[in-house]
Amino acid sequence: MLRVESISVRYDLLEAVSSVSIDIKQGQIVSLIGANGAGKSTTLKSIIGILSLSRGKIFYDDVDLTHTKSHDRVAKGIVLCPEGRRLFPRMTVYENLLTGAHLNRGSRLIKKNLNDVYELFPRVADRRKQVAGSLSGGEQQMVAIGRALMSSPKVLMLDEPSLGLAPKIVKEIEQAVKKIVELKGISVLLVEQNANLALQMSDYGYVLEKGAIIKEGLAKDLSGDEEIKKIYLGI
């Protein structure tokens, strides 16, 4: 469905991502794990088109998107839920959710997506009239995922959804993401520093170190890999 072929991304002199290839099939959860500064966010930003590639190509359903503008990628269903949620704190939860729907034509689809978000996250429904800045970190993360869902994604990219959240909330978010994949048949590319969580949730995983993929495989195999256990799982 989404094929990232040997991409490299530079920030001036620094090559932050070097020859990274990622393949995501429909209905899969694929994780990209790695330490701080490994190049995970840079990879996601280049897939969405905020950063341009110095080398490589990006294909979606075999269509070359390498030179497609970011908003056209979103319109095709590639959607990023960014690190740090990036909500509008003075706008209500409802208004924040609607900002995710700006490319949707037709109020029927907007209403349906909104109902789906409220069903998935009842806490978000309860808080819909509240300003987003008054919500807890976990609730804000739910709104951020909800906003991404308002764009009718086919490939949902989540950048560090568990960051700074209590284990109970992380569990809720994990279950919601699995439910979205089951119900809507979409694919998820999950970026996490919490490798335990990522591998437990996903079908397939990639390990990024200093901008390069050093290992990939079925998530269950990666979880059992001695080197990964030692470095990333703290076992």
Q: Is residue 153 near ligand ATP by the rule CB under 6 A?
A: no
Q: Is residue 85 near ligand ATP by the rule CB under 6 A?
A: no
| Residue 178 beta carbon to ligand ATP: minimum distance, rounded to whole angstroms | 23
Number of residues located near ligand ATP, criterion CB under 6 A: 12
Residue among 4, 7, 24, 40 that touches ligand ATP (CB under 6 A): 40
Q: Is residue 37 near ligand ATP by the rule CB under 6 A?
A: yes
Residue 13 or 63 with smaller CB distance to ligand ATP: 13
Residue 20 or 78 with smaller CB distance to ligand ATP: 20
Residue among 2, 30, 31, 39 that touches ligand ATP (CB under 6 A): 39
Among candidate residues 218, 217, 205, the one with its CA nearest the CA of residue 32: 205
Taking contact as CB under 6 A, which single stretch among the options 20-28, 32-40, 169-177, 215-223 is the one that binds ligand ATP?
Answer: 32-40
Residue among 1, 2, 4, 16 that touches ligand ATP (CB under 6 A): 16
Residue 8 or 193 with smaller CB distance to ligand ATP: 193
CA distance 197 to 200: 5
Q: Phi, psi (5° rounding) for residue 88?
A: -90, 105
Identify residues 105-124 at the interface with ligand ATP (CB under 6 A).
none
Residue 11 or 88 with smaller CB distance to ligand ATP: 11
Q: Is residue 34 near ligand ATP by the rule CB under 6 A?
A: yes
Structural tokens at position 181? 């994949």
Q: Are 63 and 94 in contact (CB under 8 A)?
A: no
Q: Which residues contact 1 (CB under 8 A, 6 or more apart)?
A: 24, 25, 26, 60, 61, 154, 155, 187
Binding site for ligand ATP (CB under 6 A): 11, 14, 16, 34, 36-42, 193
